[in-house]
Amino acid sequence: MAEAAGEVAQQLVDEQLAAEAESPLAEIRDGVSAFLDVCVGGDFQRIVLVDGPRVLGSDAWEELVDRYGRQLLEEWLDRCVESGDLESVPTRSLARLLIAMLTEASLAIAAALDPAATRAELGVVLDRLLTGLRPA
């Protein structure tokens, strides 16, 4: 199970790293959008969001979230701060909060009667939150 969840997460990470973006913040915004897209249905939702935590247990699950979520997001946020895309904030704390919001968004999408509409609404809110962190 850990291998399957890791493969799915790595595929998403690889796709984002290969994509061209205009700025570090645009990379994060694109990554959030791609994550929400895969939450709408399919294997990712079942393997990573539903079966993963239950089958792997909390320690192994947290390790996967750290490896494919928090650490990568923290690196991207550091680049945003260094480039001036974001106000200087504690990126470790921001990454933790963003992961929590993405996790909640993914669960809301999975439980929704209309996953695509829920994904669209959550995407607007998360994007607004991210762009609101830019310097004035």
58 Cβ contact list (under 8 Å, min separation 6): none
User: Worst-scoring range by mean pLDDT, 17-21, 41-45, 109-113, 117-121?
Assistant: 17-21
What are the sequence ranges of the domains in the chain?
A: 2-131
Higher pLDDT, 49 or 103: 103
pLDDT of 2 strictly over 50: no
Residues 95 and 70: beta-carbon distance below 8 Å? yes
Average pLDDT over residues 109-131: 94
As assigned by CATH, the class of the 2-131 domain is mainly alpha
Helices (H), 19-111: 24-39, 43-44, 52-56, 58-65, 71-83, 91-111
Percent of the chain with pLDDT over 70: 76
At residue 95, the pLDDT reads: 93
Which pTM value belongs to this model? 0.78
Instruction: Give pLDDT tens digits for 47-87.
Output: 666 676 777 777 777 777 777 678 888 988 999 999 999 99
